[in-house]
Structure 1
Amino acid sequence: MLNKSHVLRIPGIPVSVFVYTAKDVRCVAFTLKNTRVQQPVNSKWAASAISRRTIHTSRLLRLRGPLTFDGWYPRDHKPGEYAVTEDERRAAAIKYGLRPEDYKPMNKDDVVRYAGDYPDLGSVTYDHKDPYEDWSDRLNRRNWGEMVPMDMMRHRGDRLTFTGLEYEDFTTWGSIILCLRVLVPMALLSWYFCTRDPNALRWKNPAMPKQYPYDFYRAFPYDDARRFPITNYSFDLE
């Protein structure tokens, strides 16, 4: 693998920068120390050279670091086809860093978990691992180069807890009671604070509806509300 100090070079010509902007390359501009040279090259060679070399502009633009570099790409780690023969299984085991006798592919009929030649690592979750181990990644309790199970993101330390012991204490009525312990208080509190009875809200003094001297609803939108007075109470004796 190339490091950041590598620069794309043409045999026999010291090169500091390589520019590739067109699909059909007819010439490549080479910035030398004191001169500028143009030399025609093969377009196929230029395209393949770009995919294998690091492109630098440090000497030209006084920038640090490459424009592109050879590193980790998802396409290099995607699962391949399902391993059928013994040689394919051995190659898949070596690819994923496993011993051939420990390699077990996913069930091909499992439409949810099937992923080509990716190995079936079982269910080893965050809670199965020793919290006092000196892990490379303490957040996920994972060492460098350790294989990632299919359900790793589901059973992280900040998500679902699964050790297999939960099934020993599981009962149907226990799960129902656990739900009712949350839902029943929520329903009672919702009724207490949302009922329309003014006496139900103990924290607020009960009050009658507000009284208006005119019927604004009858006057809406353009009429004069004073034409529709409302007699809320009177001091005249009946």
Structure 2
Amino acid sequence: MAPLHLAKMINPLSKLSLANSKVILSSVRQHWNKDFKPGPYPKTEAERLAAAKRYNVHPSEYAAYRDDGTGYGDYPRFKAESGDFKDPNYPWDFPELKRNFNEPMHVQFDLIREDRYDVNARHLSSCKEQFLQLIGALSFFFGIIWIAEHFKTFQPLVPKQYPEEGKKHYTFD
């Protein structure tokens, strides 16, 4: 009795989902929203103030990227600040991303999140020194391998010694 009742309940649901497949597909797809597209590069002061208001940035802090064909348009240029650099004790609206609601993001936010590259990191040595350290370590290990391949070492062996030559000492009969 239960399987029949379950089948009667599933049949209308399947018709409903097939009838509204366009709605379901469009809600499942992750499409790009036209509202996410930045506006054209601001050329006048009025356009610059309107862009600052659109992105919820104070007009004195608003500066757009250069109009060099990258497609950033009027999106505000922020200083790159990694998630590791932000205060972990601040009551963020989205603590996993360390950002607040309606806060404009950096253009390369996907690259400088907390689990990605840290642009604020201070390294102990420069990139040139790190490269030279890598080359030095690799050369050392390849040198050890080269020496080990050209100058073989092995345990010295002598023939087995028996108490009397020609006599069987072990029989496994």
Structure-2-length-normalised TM-score: 0.58
Cross-structure match for 1:184:
139
Distance 1:146 1:188 in 2: 54
How far apart are the structure 2 equivalents of 1:174 and 1:198? Answer: 32
Gaps of 5+ in 1: 1-57, 203-238
- Cα distance in 1 for partners of 2:92, 2:147 equals 51
Matched residue pairs, number?
139
| CA separation of 1:154 and 1:192: change in aligned 2, threshold 3 A | farther
What is the rounded CA distance, in whole Å, between the counterparts of 1:120 and 1:192 in structure 2?
A: 55
* 1:156 is aligned to 2:156: no
Alignment partner, residue 79 of structure 1: 38
Partners of 1:127 and 1:165 lie apart in 2 by 12
State the partner residue of 1:121: 78
Mapped to 1, the partners of 2:118 and 2:101 lie a distance apart of 23
Task: In structure 2, give the amino acid aligned to 1:89.
Answer: R
Aligned to 1:147: 104
**1:104-145: CA deviation from partner (whole Å, max 9, x where unpaired):** 111224x6x661111101122212201222223333222222
- If each structure's strand is expressed as a fraction of its own residues, which one has the higher value? 1
Secondary structure of the structure 2 residue equivalent to 1:102: coil
Structure with bigger gyration radius: 1
Cα RMSD, aligned residues only: 3.8
Distance in 1 separating the partners of 2:64 and 2:81: 16
Match of 1:134 in 2: 91
Identity %: 25
RCO (CA 8 Å, sep 6+): is it higher in 1 or 2?
A: 2
Give the TM-score, by structure 1 length.
Answer: 0.45
Displacement after TM superposition at 1:95 (Å): 1.6
CA separation of 1:189 and 1:116: change in aligned 2, threshold 3 A:
farther
**Paired residues of 1:107 and 1:114 also in contact (CA < 8 A):** no
Equivalent in the alignment of 2:9: none
Q: Structure 2: which 5+ runs fail to align?
A: 1-11, 155-173
CA distance in 1, matches of 2:143, 2:116: 30
